[in-house]
Amino acid sequence: MKNLFIPFIGLLVSLLLFIGMTLSANGVSAAPPVQGFVTSTPGSDGRIIYIVVEGDTCLSVAIQHGMGVGQLRQYNSRLDADCTLLVGQQLVVGLANSSGPTPGPAPTLPPPTVTATPVSGTTEVCVLLFDDMNGDALRQETEFGIAGGAVSLTNLNGSYSQTLDTTSDIDPDLVEPIRPCFTDVPQGEYNVSVAVPDEYNPTMVLSYKITVKAGDRASIDFGAQSKTITVSNDTGQDSGSRSVALGIFGFLLLLASAGLGYYAYRAGQPRSKLKGSPLNKR
């Protein structure tokens, strides 16, 4: 009886070892649970969302969902340069096909299109044609604007060209000439030129190149002098009359000098030569 019990014990031990080996093999082959939460059904906008858990990185999330880190960044444009993740953060890990809720292969998103937005033209250019009475090409406080002229502002690329009339108006509060201004001018390089009235002569170069940027306010002064102030024929006549008067005065001085010389000559003659004069006979 004892001999029969020993084989039974051996068979029972072998059976237990076999069961233990089977459970161990199943435990090794079992995949660890996936961390995070992946919605198998995309949302109403077609996106598949993954919620970040502790220990996640952009690389590990990308590997879990069969994509590269670059594609993960395309889906989530708000990721910073270091691809920092926060626990509980929602990441887009796929987009659903239009044919059904099952997500298909992730599409390659095109690069963003950057459209240059033009800067609003807020540049202002003001130009004054002033009466340069002393002709020194510098505006004094008593030199104000000239009416009847014209000033033009033209962009060097030809995209802008405007003309304004000059004025002699004065700001009563500041006692300053009012400058005609070009407003809402796009930034760029411009040529400013001035035409003076017929009764004036320019005292400065009447063309100027200027570069302005949005938000700037440029102010340029050009000078002109009235033709009646310049040297005229009347001044030449005064000079001629003065020369004639000086000539007559010099001639009179010459006659006076001759008379004095003759008198001195007569006074220096010897008295013996005067004895024969009838005035000495008695």
What are the tens digits of pLDDT across the range 117-129?
444 556 889 999 9
Asked if pLDDT for residue 24 goes beyond 50, the answer is no
What are the tens digits of pLDDT across the range 137-167?
888 888 899 999 999 999 988 888 999 999 9
Buried b (16+ CB within 10 A) or exposed e, 206-231: beeeeebeeeeebebbbbbbeeeeee
Structural domains of the chain ordered from first start: 37-95 (3.10.350.10), 123-229 (2.60.40.10)
Taking a C-beta distance cutoff of 8 angstroms, is the pair 106, 96 a contact? no
Please tell me what DSSP assigns to residue 31: P
Alpha carbon of 24 to those of 17, 28, 34, 128, 216: distances in Å? 11, 6, 21, 98, 81
Query: 175 falls in which pLDDT band (50, 70, 90)?
Result: confident
| Segment (H or E) for 1 | none
Query: 47 falls in which pLDDT band (50, 70, 90)?
Result: confident
Q: What's the confidence (pLDDT) of residue 216?
A: 81
The pair of three-digit structure tokens given for residue 24, joined into one six-digit string: 């161990």
**Can you give the pTM of this predicted structure?**
0.41
Separation between Cα atoms, residue 218 and residue 213, nearest integer Å: 10
Top pLDDT among 271 and 65 is at 65
What are the tens digits of pLDDT across the range 88-112?
898 888 877 544 444 455 455 455 5
**193-222 mean pLDDT:** 89
Q: Is 117 left (phi over 0), alpha (psi -120 to 50) or beta?
A: beta
Query: 30 falls in which pLDDT band (50, 70, 90)?
Result: very low
For the chain, give the number of residues: 282
